[in-house]
Amino acid sequence: MALSHKARRRWSLVLLLIGLPLYIVVAVTLVGLFERPSILVELVIYIALGILWALPFKFVFKGVGREDPDA
């Protein structure tokens, strides 16, 4: 079942306001468990984790910034 435009907007806000901060805390905690790598390696790790976070929710964010097609 496809989500309506309004539902996608609401879920995207929930993901950005609750899910992303939780994901950031988990990512920082996991990276903090290991000895600190060089700044470039650490940057690559955080960029990769950020991309991996967004991929499962691509369908939710798709088209959210556009006008409601049903309106």
Assess contact for 60 and 2: CB atoms under 8 A: no
pLDDT value at position 56? 84
Angstrom distance (rounded) from CA 30 to CA 53: 14
pLDDT (tens digit, 9 = 90+) per residue, 8-63?
Answer: 888 888 888 998 899 889 888 888 887 888 889 888 888 888 888 888 888 777 77
User: What is the distance between the terminal CA atoms of the chain, rounded to a whole angstrom?
Assistant: 20
- Sign of the CA dihedral 50, 52, 53, 59? positive
pLDDT: which is higher, 3 or 17: 17
- Residue 27: which of 41, 13, 48, 11 has the closest Cα? 48
Any idea where the domains of the chain sit in the sequence?
Answer: 13-60
pLDDT given at position 1 = 57
Q: What predicted TM-score, i.e. pTM, was given to this entire model? A: 0.68
